[in-house]
Amino acid sequence: MKHGRYPFIIGFLIVPLAIYGTFVVAAYLQAFQLSFTNWRGFSPDVNYIGFDNFVKLFSDDTFWKAIRHHIVLLIFLPLITIILALFFAFLLNVGGGSKGGRTRGVWGSKFYRVVFFFPQLLALALVAVIFARVYSPDDSGLINGLLNQIGSGPILFLADKNLALWSILAVLVWQAVGFYVVLFSAGMGSIPTEIYEAAALDGATRGTLFFKVTLPLLWNTLQVAWVYLGIAAFDAFALVNVMSVDRGGPDGATTVLGLEIFRNMQDYAQFGYASAMGVVLFFLTITFAALTLRVTRRDAIEL
């Protein structure tokens, strides 16, 4: 069996690795190649222009505007989502206090887990369409319909350049929280109940249980969550494309790199320039993930 182990493993891996290499790795390599060309997508002729696309990119105001928007999302999307998900997960697993030395979640916690996870069942494009209607400035919008009823006047969530990005950020948080509630609940479920029971018998409050027990033991899960949410912050294409005014508006207030890549390919037929943007986005994402894992690394706590 020992001598047949590696052929057995290779036999299972060769097909998925071949598919991954063909449709993912090859696509990345082609994007790197095209980033050094001025190819417009219609001619078989490819002219190599060196680093001209990158020189143009780093002097493009729209590119830097998109980077600033990604920085805002990169800070607030993981921060808000993780805080809310931790709060809800703690309530669902430990927030009900202790009874007979055993910790428990709040009443109805199993039902709440399903409710929190429900947004994950909806396609992101569908979520964008729903919230575009929720934010609608007329009476058909859920929020502005209520505001108009009480005479407060409409709030232009997506048409006000000071509010548009934050309105989209709120949707990103709403859509993501449920998944991380389930993820953190699974992490809390792996913590031995004896630890919670011992802390409860010693008179630990819920705050003490959270900060002194739950948070340290969930550190690896938090680290992974921050990386995943950071990658989501570098995307946000679907929501911005569907929800924003004039795709990235008003006045570029919500544009992101994914949208600019799409716009340069579809509207301007600048495949080489769009590929250069994709290469920069690739390195930004990889750098963020590597730095996050490095900065947040800590010794594992043995249970």
Give helix 164-189 / helix 219-233 axis angle, nearest 10°: 150
Cis peptide before 250 (omega within 30 of 0): yes
Residues ≥6 apart with Cβ < 8 Å to 15: none
Distance between first and last Cα of the chain: 34
In a domain, residue 17? The reply is: no
- The verdict on residue 190 lying in a domain is yes
13 lies in a domain? no
Closest CA to 135 of 151, 159, 152: 159
Tokens of 103: 């910790």
Answer yes or no: is 40 within a domain.
no
141 assigned to some structural domain: yes
Q: How much is the pTM?
A: 0.83
Query: Does residue 9 sit within a domain?
Result: no
Any domain includes 244: yes
Given the structure tokens 């007979």, which residue do they identify?
100
Q: pLDDT (tens digit, 9 = 90+) per residue, 173-214?
A: 999 998 898 888 888 777 777 776 677 676 667 677 777 777
Q: For residue range 45-76, list pLDDT tens digits in order.
A: 788 888 899 999 999 899 999 999 999 999 99
Domain assignment present for residue 301? The answer is no
- What is the spatial distance between Cα 229 and Cα 244, in angstroms, rounded to a whole number? 21
pLDDT tens-place values along the chain, 303 residues long: 455 677 777 777 888 888 988 888 888 898 898 889 888 877 777 888 888 999 999 998 999 999 999 999 999 999 999 999 988 888 777 655 555 445 556 666 677 777 778 888 888 888 888 998 888 887 777 888 888 888 777 888 888 889 999 999 999 999 999 889 888 888 877 777 777 667 767 666 767 777 777 788 888 888 889 999 999 998 888 889 888 888 888 888 899 999 999 998 888 888 889 999 999 999 999 999 888 888 877 655 555
CATH of the domain at 173: 1.10.3720.10
Degrees, nearest 5: CA angle 175-258-176 = 10
Domain housing 196: 60-295
In the chain, the number of structural domains is 1
